[in-house]
Structure 1
Amino acid sequence: MLSEQQIKDWLIKVFSQLNFNQTIGLNITVCEQDKAEIRFVWDDKLMGNPIQKILHGGVTATALDTVGGILAIYSRLSRHTDLTEQTLAELTGKVGTIDLRTDYLRPGRGQEFIATAHLIRSGNKVCVCRMELHNELEEHIAYGTGTYLVG
Structure 2
Amino acid sequence: MSKHTILPPLPFEPEFVEGLRQVFEHRIPFNQVIGLKLVEMAADHVVGRVDMRPELVGHFSYNRLHGGVISATLDAMGGMAVMAAIGARHMDEPPARRLERFLKLGTIDLRVDYLRQGIGEFFTAHAEVLRLGSRVASTRMEFRGADGTLLATGAAAYIVS
Using the TM superposition, give the Cα deviation of residue 84 of structure 1 relative to its aligned residue in structure 2, in angstroms: 4.6
**Counterpart in the other structure of 2:38:** 28
**Counterpart in the other structure of 2:155:** 145
**Counterpart in the other structure of 1:126:** 136
Q: 1:4 aligns with which of 13, 26, 31?
A: 13
- Give the Cα–Cα distance (whole angstroms) in 2 for the partners of residues 90 and 114 of structure 1: 27
SS in structure 2 opposite 1:133? strand
Q: In the TM superposition, what are the counterparts of 1:67-106 in structure 2 within 5 Å?
A: 67-80=77-90, 81-85=92-96, 87-106=97-116
Cα contact 2:138–2:157 (8 A) shared by 1: yes
- Give the Cα–Cα distance (whole angstroms) in 2 for the partners of residues 4 and 84 of structure 1: 7
Is 2:77 the counterpart of 1:49?
Answer: no
Task: Indicate the percent of aligned positions where both proteins have the same amino acid.
Answer: 35
**RMSD after superposition:** 1.3
Cα contact 1:37–1:67 (8 A) shared by 2: yes
Q: 2:145 aligns with which of 126, 132, 135?
A: 135
Using the TM superposition, give the Cα deviation of residue 89 of structure 1 relative to its aligned residue in structure 2, in angstroms: 4.4
SS in structure 2 opposite 1:78? helix
Using the TM superposition, give the Cα deviation of residue 119 of structure 1 relative to its aligned residue in structure 2, in angstroms: 1.8
Note the residue ranges of structure 1 that are not aligned, 5 or more in a row.
none
- Give the Cα–Cα distance (whole angstroms) in 2 for the partners of residues 118 and 14 of structure 1: 19
TM-score, with length taken from structure 2: 0.87
Q: 1:64 aligns with which of 58, 65, 74?
A: 74
Q: Which amino acid aligns with 2:21?
A: I
- Give the Cα–Cα distance (whole angstroms) in 2 for the partners of residues 8 and 150 of structure 1: 19
**Counterpart in the other structure of 2:6:** none
Using the TM superposition, give the Cα deviation of residue 4 of structure 1 relative to its aligned residue in structure 2, in angstroms: 3.0
Cα contact 1:4–1:78 (8 A) shared by 2: no
Report how many residues are paired.
Answer: 148
- Give the Cα–Cα distance (whole angstroms) in 1 for the partners of residues 78 and 61 of structure 2: 30
